[in-house]
Amino acid sequence: MDASPNPSAASWSRSRIAALNAQFEPHGPKAILNWAVHTFDDDLAQGTGFGPSGIVIMHMLADLRPGTTVFYLDTDLLFPETYELCEDLDARLDVDVTRVHGGLSLDEQAEQEGEALWNRNPNRCCFLRKVKPLKNFLADRRAWITGVRRDQSERRADADILSWEDQYGVFKINPLANWTQKEVWKYLFEHDLPYNPKHDQGYPSLGCVPCTEPVDEADGYSREGRWGDADKTECGLHTSLGEEESEAAGS
């Protein structure tokens, strides 16, 4: 696969990124990750909420490039099981699990924004506790690996394997974009990897406790159960939920 010794937005045209995506499409995620670690080296980091897709990628990275930075956004509102899984994976896999926090405590947020912001304005809450900390963390990185898959939701159905993310100033790599949920779970079981027990309790997708609920029966998308009846399907990490939109939503 093609690689650049010092890739930047300026040197990678849209046509070049499109050509790389066409080249990646028939390859498996491990080949894509191998390209990524050789292309971006220490400027590469994986972001994960410790869902099944993220765990698969963590396992592959531990084999391809031990010590790769794997970070998670600690909103102070994750499920206890998520924190426990984080510790388990940190002990099992040879990656550098890194906690990223925005520095704003829940009490400070309540003082500034009012109580239970996640109920009144979930976009603003996600911006403060997820999007802003992510942008700060990625400021000195060149590439960000995610577990986004096309079969997770209608909004993600057209996800590219490689893209340039203007809002963060990094290349975004979705090595599992063309994998299915079935393939992810098959990999987990074949490699005897742990996963969040909440998935066996009706939670297809796990985020923050106040904004995640079990579902009786998912209709094929693995992000059901997030934000209940709100007109919201993304936290903003993978969409253009920028500061201006979040500020306006808070007014």
| Residues marked as catalytic | 235
Burial of 216 (0-12, 13-18, 19+ CB in 10 A): exposed
The rounded distance, in Å, linking the Cα atoms of 88 and 91 is 5
DSSP 226: B
The DSSP symbol for 131 reads I
User: With contact defined as beta carbons under 8 Å apart, do 77 and 118 qualify?
Assistant: yes
Q: What order do you get walking across the sheet with 69-73 strand by strand?
A: 96-100, 69-73, 44-47, 143-145, 170-173, 162-165
**Do the beta carbons of residue 73 and residue 47 sit within 8 Å?**
yes
